[in-house]
Structure 1
Amino acid sequence: MSNLRKRPLTAGLILALLAAPVSVSPVSAHDHDHDHERHDHDEARLAVQRGEIRPLAELLSMVRNKLPGEITGVEIERHHGQWLYEFIVVDKAGRMYEVHVDPQSGEIRKTREK
């Protein structure tokens, strides 16, 4: 099984990455998808607190002018234990790109058209 974990960021996780810690409301024990999503949110929030990844707002200010268009989505993934932000970007011609960004340095690692 691959170590690659990729999930779209939800509004709650984006807020957690943008700023200080965010309170998380309890989740029903019957809803396993929400339990897993909550774990992912907590894991990413803790990674920001530990300094493993920069808050999303800080990273966006570092890379926004380097991206080939408008950001339409953000995902965060772990590959072999390393965090990586993936920005979904649409240029003026309507082409969609995946832009992989190092969550510490803001360095663009890879850009590919979808």
Structure 2
Amino acid sequence: MPFLKVQAIALAAVPGEVVKVDLENEHGQDVYEFKILAPSGRVIELEIAAATGQILKREAD
């Protein structure tokens, strides 16, 4: 899946400003790790499968 589409999925799930993105390989699957600064001031971390766009994990820092 194209990066911009994955980024759109991330921002739809957590509106805000993307402050960091990493591409990692977890258990044989490419996963984008987004850190998004939400309007509340909290940083939310999302892990999204690069191939499918499925959100795998969401947590607040």
Shorter-chain TM-score category? Answer: 0.7 to 0.9
Higher strand share: 2
- 3-state SS of paired residue (1:94): coil
Higher relative contact order (CA 8 A, sep 6+): 2
Aligned length: 60
After superposition, where does 1:1-114 map in structure 2 within 5 Å?
54-61=1-8, 63=9, 64-114=11-61
1:68, distance to aligned residue in structure 2 (A):
4.2
What's the TM-score, normalizing by structure 1? Answer: 0.47
Greater radius of gyration (CA) = 1
Higher helix share: 1
Deviations 1:15-44 (CA, angstroms, capped at 9, x unpaired): xxxxxxxxxxxxxxxxxxxxxxxxxxxxxx
Deviations 1:31-81 (CA, angstroms, capped at 9, x unpaired): xxxxxxxxxxxxxxxxxxxxxxx23123223x0222242211100101122
Q: Percent identity?
A: 30
What's the TM-score, normalizing by structure 2? Answer: 0.80
| Stretches of 4+ aligned residues off by more than 3 angstroms | none
